Amino acid sequence: MATLRLGDTAPNFTQDSSEGPLDFYQWAGDSWVVFFSHPADFTPVCTTELGKTAALSGEFAKRGVKPIALSVDPATKHKEWIGDINETQNTTVNFPIIADHDRKVADLYDLIHPNASATATVRSVFIIDPKKAIRATITYPASTGRNFDEILRVIDSLQLTDSHKVATPVNWKDGDDVVIIPSIQDPAELAERFPKGFKAVKPYLRITPQPNK
């Protein structure tokens, strides 16, 4: 399977999960999705990551995002592990963990990187929009836990830039100034789209307050 690239359609699948059999497209509906893989159940870094995901359920919900996890362990192990996650991370896991025992989904999403491990899935993240397009990917080694503040930041950027003709600069976070995309040059359109005005540092670098704030 070729590596999935930005803009590709996220493959559909039916697979067992901690919440029973799951059809990915049906489960996702018209929501954004954060789909992230784990090397194995009952591992320390993954335990903290799934706990953090559960703790951020309100942040995901207000952005219209559904999280879903995956490892190659069976659903029975997932259910046992969830008890540990809830206990040690003081939270309640309220999203499915795909039980990819036959690696069907791992193969679809190219989650087995043989030079890292021939058996365990890498620590990948796919941010998928309501049209099932892959909008962002991040891949970490098994030893490095993900930064969920960054995942939320990327979602905020994608949702903002989908609805306004802007891009988000370095280290941007929700509420910061943004930049106007270079293709907008007409003064009337600039005035209409950016009534708060903008600062032209260079003709191609125009800074404006976040339009939806």
Residues involved in catalysis: 46
Beta bridge mates, 14? 23
The span from the CA of 178 to the CA of 147, in Å, is 22
Residues comprising the chain, all counted: 213
User: Which 3-state string (H, E, C) describes 154-195?
Assistant: HHHHHHHHHHCCEECCCCCCCCCCEEECCCCCCHHHHHHHCC
The span from the CA of 33 to the CA of 26, in Å, is 12
Beta-sheet strand order (sheet of 134-140): 97-99, 65-71, 32-37, 123-128, 134-140
Record the tokens describing residue 25, joined without a space: 């497209």
Record the tokens describing residue 46, joined without a space: 């993954």
Three-state SS at 45: helix
H helical segments located in 56-117: 57-62, 75-89, 104-108
